[in-house]
Chain A
């Protein structure tokens, strides 16, 4: 089956620093990757849609200058949390979709294992 990895799995940083999270599709090419944020005991909230070779599309209320997304290849997308603050502490999850944007199919997205970010 399709595998998506995230690195690191857990990161603790000081307030004001930047943190980069990588999302990789290991055995397929992902035309689209999605980034989600999940606070404790809450659902997944879509932050942005990342398409290879183009700018990410951010959901309403998500600051694009704070959450920098780069989808440099068909197997890698990165999320950089810039000038992180304690309120950015959360579980960040990526997913990868092998289909062309808008194409329908089953088993839509493959999710990574998540990255736990703690900002002190």
Chain B
């Protein structure tokens, strides 16, 4: 699958392909970012986070990239599986923000066999 633009609402990929989900955040003062996965009818589930003093962080099958210059965040999922099908949200917060999370619009990832 391919990512198109910064505000892709739906991403369809084939099982086994890599997925890239993008997010544009709003507050230049934000210094901590989190990606969440939300399955239908459930609460958000933590995937990975990154601080503003980093530009890349890797987890198991997932990588988050941060570009502060253009206020852009991406989530890369390697070897996408059907169980990865969900809506993915980025969230931002900042020091002095009292731990309040501001969520992005979200992207639905559909994985096809």
Contacts and interface: CB of A to CB of B under 8 A. Distances in A.
Interface stretch (B14-22, B61-69, B75-83, B88-96): B88-96
Interface of B is mostly: loop
A114 B32 contact: no
Contacts of A91: 41
B103 A107 contact: no
A108 B93 contact: yes
A112 B43 contact: yes
Nearest to A94: B43
Interface in A68-117: 91, 93, 95, 97, 99, 101-104, 106-114, 116
B99 A43 contact: no
A38 B6 CA distance: 22
Contacts of A103: 99
A46 interface: yes
B32 A104 contact: yes
A44 interface: yes
Contacts of A113: 42-43
Nearest to A114: B43
B52 to A, nearest CB: 11
Contacts of B42: 113-114
Interface of A: 4, 6, 32, 34, 42-46, 49, 57, 91, 93, 95, 97, 99, 101-104, 106-114, 116
Interface of B: 32, 34, 36, 41-46, 49, 89, 93, 95-96, 98-106
